[in-house]
Amino acid sequence: MNGAKYHIHTYGCQMNVHESEKIAGLLQARGFSSCEDVAEADVIVMNTCCVRETAETKVLGHLGRIKSQKKKGAVLIVCGCMTQQRAVAEMLYKRCPFVDIIIGTFNQGSVTEYIDTFLATDKRIVDIWDKERDTKEVSCAVRDDDINAWVNIMYGCNNFCTYCIVPYVRGRERSRPLDEIISEVNSLLDRGYKQITLLGQNVNSYDCGGKNFIDLLKMLDNGREYRLKFMTSHPKDFSIALAEEIGRSKVLSHNLHLPVQAGSNSVLKAMNRHYTREEYFDKINAVREAVPDIGLSSDVMVGFPTETEEDFLETLDLVERVRYNNLFMFIYSRRDGTPAAKMPQIDYKTKQGRISRLIKTQFEISKQIALSMVGTELTVLTSEQKNGVFYGKAQNELAVSFTGDAKIGEFTRVKITSAKNANLAGEVKR
């Protein structure tokens, strides 16, 4: 397939976005080049997500469209979390004869070998592994962004929150060797990246060769000018020591994504989250004390099986008290194979009503936070310029648009002059 073109479509979280960058790296190492148009591609990869039903429905709809768009002889590969579920992989194999290769999350590092086998035999492939057989770190990722780079520090999850499919499709926690992470970060900084985001389902449990997450963060505070972020932190493992490290470090971004999921203790217990709302508030207070300008964000779910109206009101109350800069809000989605799928479910209308009320509450909070920022100065990492206006994110993860003398990929002090809804506008500080 010399001179062949590939097209990758990615669903899901940052972890998947980065997996796709690695798949692109493997394909380019074989001499393939990327193309925007599916109809031109010789190899099409769909990297899928299954965290909510909506993600799966979108993938199925998209596959239907690709069937008619793909050119004759093009190889269509479906991989990722959705196909890691064996039953889904088998369903796709039966129902979608135009899909040539179906693999999961553990074996997508061998994507080019699967392509070779398929081309040599002309036999469709479905191969799902139950766990990783040999840890093969792909070092040739082709990154989509030239300012922010994703770096895996661990894979998998051991937490088994009762609603969540991730532990079943990503396996148990595995930490990457410390020296490998440090050298990847250093080489990215040498290449000019200005922001590094460390990825793991639960970064607080990083543990490799006796070194923990805070040891890793200290080693990455290396005197160079860049912004270091991490996701995701589980509240049960978030420590005061980590809050203090955020305050002390010269590179760590002053933002913390600490997904609370729910505000009621009985729902948190049914979700198997291992913390109470009181403990969560204590951690929020500790981090605000250590880092007064911290920007907080969170994931919240409504309509979990046992959630009553009173439970939901406790979630609203928590959101109003914490006042997050950014909040990702979801309707609980039943996932086969998880414990919560067997609990009595809440009707769709109730869930819809709750999410609308939550969105409205957060919208007001975002508006008030934005207004309170007017007159302050923020350090913005500029990522885009359109019609003379620059766009970027501040150290607390608030999005800012501004005018003045700036450069993409550089840090600029911006004075905030106005706020419209949750959007901040300003000008470069002279």
Distance CA 150, CA 143 (A): 8
When asked if residue 410 is in the footprint of ligand SAH (CB under 6 A), the reply is no
When asked if residue 261 is in the footprint of ligand SAH (CB under 6 A), the reply is yes
Give the x/- contact pattern for ligand SAH in 44-83, rule: CB under 6 A. -------xx-------------------------------
What minimum distance in Å lies between the beta carbon of 298 and ligand SAH? 8
Ranges of beta strands (E only) in 202-302 are: 207-208, 211-212, 227-231, 255-257, 295-302
What minimum distance in Å lies between the beta carbon of 150 and ligand SF4? 17
Distance CA 63, CA 299 (A): 29
Residue closest to ligand F3S, measured at CB: 12
Work out which of 77, 89, 161, 284 binds ligand SF4, going by CB under 6 A. 161
Give the x/- contact pattern for ligand SAH in 306-335, rule: CB under 6 A. ------------------------x-xx-x
When asked if residue 262 is in the footprint of ligand SF4 (CB under 6 A), the reply is no
When asked if residue 50 is in the footprint of ligand F3S (CB under 6 A), the reply is yes
Work out which of 138, 185, 301, 419 binds ligand SAH, going by CB under 6 A. 301
Distance CA 219, CA 131 (A): 31
**Residue 387 corresponds to which amino acid?**
N
**Residue 381 corresponds to which amino acid?**
L
Using DSSP, state whether 427 is helix, strand or coil: strand
Task: Identify which of residues 263 and 426 has a Cβ nearer to ligand SF4 in the complex.
Answer: 263
When asked if residue 201 is in the footprint of ligand SF4 (CB under 6 A), the reply is yes
Distance CA 407, CA 387 (A): 14
What minimum distance in Å lies between the beta carbon of 29 and ligand F3S? 24
What minimum distance in Å lies between the beta carbon of 303 and ligand SAH? 8
Work out which of 99, 115, 157, 242 binds ligand SF4, going by CB under 6 A. 157
What minimum distance in Å lies between the beta carbon of 329 and ligand SF4? 15
Distance CA 302, CA 261 (A): 8
Work out which of 299, 317, 410, 427 binds ligand SAH, going by CB under 6 A. 299
Task: List CB contacts of 311: < 8 A, sequence separation 6 or more.
Answer: 262, 263, 264, 266, 267
Partner whose footprint covers residue 78, from ligand F3S, ligand SF4, ligand SAH, none (CB < 5 to 8 Å by kind) = none
Task: List CB contacts of 217: < 8 A, sequence separation 6 or more.
Answer: 228, 230, 242, 245, 249, 252
When asked if residue 160 is in the footprint of ligand SF4 (CB under 6 A), the reply is yes
Determine the size of the site formed for ligand F3S (CB under 6 A).
11
Using DSSP, state whether 386 is helix, strand or coil: strand
Task: Identify which of residues 54 and 421 has a Cβ nearer to ligand SAH in the complex.
Answer: 54
Partner whose footprint covers residue 70, from ligand F3S, ligand SF4, ligand SAH, none (CB < 5 to 8 Å by kind) = none
Task: Identify which of residues 203 and 378 has a Cβ nearer to ligand SAH in the complex.
Answer: 203
When asked if residue 163 is in the footprint of ligand SAH (CB under 6 A), the reply is yes
Partner whose footprint covers residue 52, from ligand SAH, ligand F3S, ligand SF4, none (CB < 5 to 8 Å by kind) = ligand SAH
Question: Which of 350, 266, 341, 340 is closest to 309 using CA atoms?
Answer: 350
Q: Using the Cα atoms of residue 238, residue 239, residue 240 and residue 246 in order, give the sign of their dihedral.
A: negative
Structure tokens at 269: 């217990």
Question: Which of 296, 423, 297 is closest to 371 using CA atoms?
Answer: 423
Helix, strand, coil abundance in the chain, percent, nearest 5: 40, 25, 35
Residue closest to ligand SAH, measured at CB: 299
- Other beta carbons within 10 Å of 31: 10
Per-residue burial over 297-323, b = 16 or more CB atoms within 10 Å of its CB, e = otherwise: bbebbbbbbbbeeebbebbbebbeebe
Work out which of 166, 267, 270, 394 binds ligand F3S, going by CB under 6 A. 166
Find where tokens 């002090």 sit.
413
What minimum distance in Å lies between the beta carbon of 324 and ligand F3S? 20
Task: Identify which of residues 286 and 341 has a Cβ nearer to ligand SAH in the complex.
Answer: 341
Task: Identify which of residues 339 and 409 has a Cβ nearer to ligand SAH in the complex.
Answer: 339
Taking the alpha carbons at both ends of the chain, their separation in whole angstroms is: 55
Binding-site ranges for ligand SAH (CB under 6 A): 51-52, 163-164, 166, 201-202, 232, 234, 259, 261, 299, 301, 330, 332-333, 335
Binding-site ranges for ligand F3S (CB under 6 A): 12-13, 15-16, 49-51, 81, 166, 169-170
